[in-house]
A and B are shown apart, each in its own frame.
Chain A
C-alpha cells in the first residue's frame, strides 16, 4: 500500500538522521574541531567515509554533529510554536467572535508579515548572530501557524453535542478546551508538527548559510554549504554531501507527515507553504 510505504520510508530516513544526531553526542569517527591540513579536501574513502573539507576535518563527523544542530533548532522551534500557538488557538476558538479572538487572529496576521528570515535579521542586528536566534526566529514564525490551525480545527468541535454535554455538566471554557477539544485536534497537530519540523530544518540551513545561525566551531549543514561555495568547482562533494543530508532529512519528515496524516485521519488537510 502507498500509505504505509510513505510512512515506512519517511520514518526510516528521519530515524536515521535523528539517530546520527544522538550518536554524535557520544561518538563520532573523528573530532569535528580537529584540523588535519595534510589530508584536506579528500574525496570519500576508507578512512574518511565522506571525505574531508578544506581544513581536513572529517565530513561524516561534521554531518553527524550538524544533524544535532539542525534537529535541535527545528525541534525547539516547533516546541515554541505548539507551546504558545496551541493555547492561543484554543482560547480564540473558545471565545469565537470576541475581542480576544479578534486580537489573537490579527496578531497572527501581523506575525505572518514577518518571514522568519526577517525576524532573524532583526534579532541578529540587535543581539548578534547565534543558534539561539535561529530558534527564536523560526519559533516565532511557527506560533501563528499552530494558532490558526488549532482555532480552525477547534471551531467546528464547539458546535458538537459532546461539548454541549460537558458544558451542561458545569465545565468552564478552559477545562473543555483542555479535556475535550485538545485531544481531538492532537492528530492534526502531530501532522502539522512534522511539516513545521521539516520547514524548520530548511530555515535553519538557510539562516546558517547567510551567517545568521549557528556560529563556528559548531558545525551546521548550512554553514558547511557556505564554506563549500567557493570550492564547489574543484571539490563538489563539499556541497553535495550536506545538501544531500538536508534533502533526505526534509524528504523523510515530509513523507512521514504524509504517511501519518493518511494513517491518523485521511480527511485532514494540512497547510504547507
Chain B
C-alpha cells in the first residue's frame, strides 16, 4: 500500500507541474501588457517601468514561472492587477462559498442517487425501476442552470420560500448560509444524481449476477439480505470513481450556477477578472480548480486501492 501510495503521489506531483506549466504558458500568450492596462494609455514610460518592476513583469519567463509556483506553495498567489490586494485573500473569501456549495451538492446527489439506484436494481424491470430510469433519462438531459432558473421561479418568486439569490455570509449563522445555498445545491445535484443513480443500478445489477451472490442465496439469504450484505459493498467501487469525477464537475458547474443565483463565489471572481483583464487572478483560480480535480482523483485512487486490495499490486 505504501509503495502504491508513493507512486500515486509522484504522478500527482508530475500532473501538477505539467498543469501549472500549461496554464502559465497559455496566460503568457495573452496579448497586452498588464502594467499599461492598469495605468491607462496616458501613463509615463518610467511609471510603467516602475510598476512592471513591482509586479515582477521584467523578469524572464522562467523566473516568473518559478516565483508563481513557489509562491503558491507558500500560499502566496500574487497581487491582483486591478485591486492591488493579495489574490490569496480574494480567492479564500470566494472559496467559502464555492466549496461548501460543491460539497452540499455532492451530499445531496449521493443521498438521492443511492436509494434510487438500489431501489431500481432491486425491482429490476418493475414499474419502480422503469419510472426511476425514465426520470434519470430526463435528469441527464436537463441543463443545471436552466433547472436553477425554474427553481427560482417556483420556490423564490412564486412560493417565496427562499431568496432568489445572493449570499448573506456565514456570519449570520450556519442555517442562514445553508438556506441560501439550498436551491443552488439542488440545481447542481439533480443532474449528477441522475447519472449516479444509473451507475449505482447497473453496477449492482452486474454484481447480482455473480457466483457469490448465488452462493449467498443458496445458503438461505433472501434476495434483499444478499443485496444489502454482499452486493452493495462490491458495487460501490465504480460508484466511488464516479463520485470522484463528479466532484470536479460540481466545482466547475458551481461556476455557472453561481451566475444564476448571484453568489459571490469563485465563478463570479473569474468572470469579473476576465472582463477586467486581471489575468493573474484567472491564472490562480484556474490552477486552484485543476489542483482540486487532480487531488480528488488522487484520493479516489487511494480509496480504490483501499477497497480493492488487488489494485495495490497492479500499478
Report if A and B associate in a common complex: yes
Interface check B13, CB cutoff 8 A: no
Q: Is the interface of A mostly helix, strand, loop or mixed?
A: helix
Give the residues in chain B near A117, CB-CB below 8 Å: 252-253, 255-256
Interface flags for A223-250 (1: CB within 8 Å of B; 0: not) read: 0010011001100100100110011101
A243–B271 CB distance below 8 A: no
A126–B30 CB distance below 8 A: yes
Bound: A153/B307 CA distance, A? 26
Q: Which of B27, B30, B141, B260 contacts A254 (CB 8 A)?
A: B141
Give the residues in chain A near B267, CB-CB below 8 Å: 210
Bound: A272/B246 CA distance, A? 11
Interface flags for B29-62 (1: CB within 8 Å of A; 0: not) read: 1110000000000000000000000000000000
Bin chain B's interface residue count. 35 or more
Give the residues in chain B near A158, CB-CB below 8 Å: none
Interface flags for B238-275 (1: CB within 8 Å of A; 0: not) read: 00001001101100110110011000000100110110
Which residues 132-188 in B have Cβ within 8 Å of A in the complex?
Answer: 137-138, 140-146, 149-150, 152-153, 157
Give the residues in chain A near B146, CB-CB below 8 Å: 205, 225, 239, 242-243, 246-247
Known: A125-B279, A126-B26. A246 touches B143 (CB 8 A): yes
Interface check A72, CB cutoff 8 A: no
Interface check A174, CB cutoff 8 A: no
Q: Which of A109, A115, A247, A254 has the most CB of B within 10 A?
A: A115
Give the residues in chain B near A165, CB-CB below 8 Å: none
Closest Cβ neighbor of B146 among chain A residues: A243
A272–B286 CB distance below 8 A: no
Interface check A185, CB cutoff 8 A: no
Shortest distance from the beta carbon of A146 to any chain B beta carbon, whole Å: 17
Give the residues in chain A near B26, CB-CB below 8 Å: 122-123, 126
Give the residues in chain A near B190, CB-CB below 8 Å: none
Q: Which of A110, A122, A205, A246 contacts B15 (CB 8 A)?
A: A110
Bin chain A's interface residue count. 35 or more
Residue numbers of A with Cβ under 8 A of B are 106, 109-110, 112-115, 117-118, 121-126, 198, 202, 205-206, 209-211, 225, 228-229, 232-233, 236, 239, 242-243, 246-248, 250-251, 254-255, 269, 272-273
Given known contacts A229-B149, A232-B152, what 11 new A-B pairs fall within 8 Å (CB)?
A106-B11, A113-B19, A113-B294, A114-B19, A209-B145, A232-B157, A239-B153, A242-B146, A247-B143, A254-B137, A273-B246
Residue numbers of B with Cβ under 8 A of A are 11, 14-15, 18-19, 23, 26-27, 29-31, 137-138, 140-146, 149-150, 152-153, 157, 195, 198, 202, 242, 245-246, 248-249, 252-253, 255-256, 259-260, 267, 270-271, 273-274, 279, 282, 286, 289-290, 293-294, 297
